Homo-oligomer: A and B are copies of this chain.
Amino acid sequence: MRTTVQELCELLGGTLAGDGSVTIDDVASPESATPDHIVYTASPAQYRRLEGHPGAVILDHETHEACPHAESDAPRILVEDPQAAFIQAMLHFRPPAPRQQTGISPHAFVDPSATIGEDCNIHPGAHIGPGVTLGKGCDIHPGVVIAADCRLGDNVTVYPNAVLYAGVSVGNRVIIHATAVIGADGFGYRLEQGRFAKIPHTGTVVLEDDVEIGAGTTVDRAMIGATVIGEGTKLDNQVMIAHNCQLGKHNAYASQVGFAGSVTTGDYVRCAGQVGVADHAHIGTGSTLGAKAGIRGTVPDGETYHGIPAGPEREQIKLHLTLRKVPEMRSQLGQLARQVQQLQDQIENLNDRRTGSAAA
């Protein structure tokens, strides 16, 4: 779908600079672009570093003004939000395939007592257990297992081999990626006469509207009530959310984050990769946890925490920078000890001489 930069510019609602008759046939990253591609840059520095020779560039007005341009430069489309415009261009060149209505495959297993909404696709090899309710327009991919009495809203997508244990509740427009497991038993035992007795987990999991769950991520069911993933919250791959956690809305956690039991969070919490949060901790609204942070207790609203155990960013940076000075401090300490010894000797000497002179 070759398109002139002029046409693209109109599509994106931008302002053209340079030759609008140049034609483009795809988007690309700055590193791999050829003259057939349009790219976007987020800063003057990135713009100047442009390695490939793209056919056109999307950028914002500030970047454009900050960079001088030659006649020979690639044409530019100036917009308010280059990333948003670039995504729009990407979808122009790579239009998503329209959703196919394949319906319920004869190779899927659907329990007769399940209720399936309109326009659902249930692919070969998917398993829908007894008493399950699906809303409208759901896509249940091959190998997915939805156990008894789960309730899914409208337009839910469950990718291959994901598993929902019995009784899990899923809102509208939720996306669950491949091999994610929702609703396995919480990890709870009582040590009775030297053996672990399993604590029954009669609770469930609630995924609210617009939640997205990454591949291989596990969200355990509560002991009594529900483990809740709040509206719009996004979990990356291989995240672990233990029993009874209550996550707020619009949280975003990167891969391999682990929450122990009964953690609560506010809204707009962000976790970088491999963060660990101890049981019963509370993470305040708008706070950010740095990569690999180890959290206990309470993180106040709006704070950024780093470290193991974690503390406020400023303290942690100061602590960390100071710790790097310890080898230097150690040699200073040695030197100081030697100086003090010398001073002691000198004073003793002075005292001796004084005594000597007094004695004289």
Can you list 6 contacts pairing A with B, beta carbon distance less than 8 Å?
A: A84-B190, A91-B200, A142-B145, A161-B163, A258-B274, A274-B274
Please determine whether B181 and A181 come into contact, CB atoms closer than 8 angstroms: no
> A47 interface residue, CB < 8 Å from B?
no
Q: How many A residues touch the partner, as a band?
A: 35 or more
Stretch in A9-17, A58-66, A341-349 with 4+ CB within 8 Å of B = A341-349
Copies of the polypeptide in the assembly: 3
Residue in chain B with minimal CB distance to A212:
B198
Contact of A336 among B125, B179, B337 (CB under 8 A): B337
Give, as a whole number of angstroms, the nearest-CB distance from A45 to chain B.
14
Pair B165/A178 contact, Cβ less than 8 Å:
yes
Interface string of A142-164 (1 = CB under 8 A from B): 11010100000000000111010
The answer to the question of A42 belonging to the interface, with a C-beta cut-off of 8 Å to chain B, is no
- Contact (Cβ within 8 A) B294 A276: no
| Residue positions of A touching B, CB distance < 8 A | 27-29, 32, 83-84, 87, 90-91, 94, 96, 107, 109, 123-125, 127, 141-143, 145, 147, 159-161, 163, 165, 177-179, 181, 184-185, 187, 189-190, 194-196, 198-200, 202, 210, 212, 214-216, 218, 220, 224-225, 232, 234, 236-238, 240, 242, 244, 250, 252, 254-256, 258, 260, 272-274, 276, 278, 291-292, 294, 308-309, 318-320, 322-327, 329-330, 332-333, 336-337, 339-340, 343-344, 346-347, 350-351, 353-354, 357-358
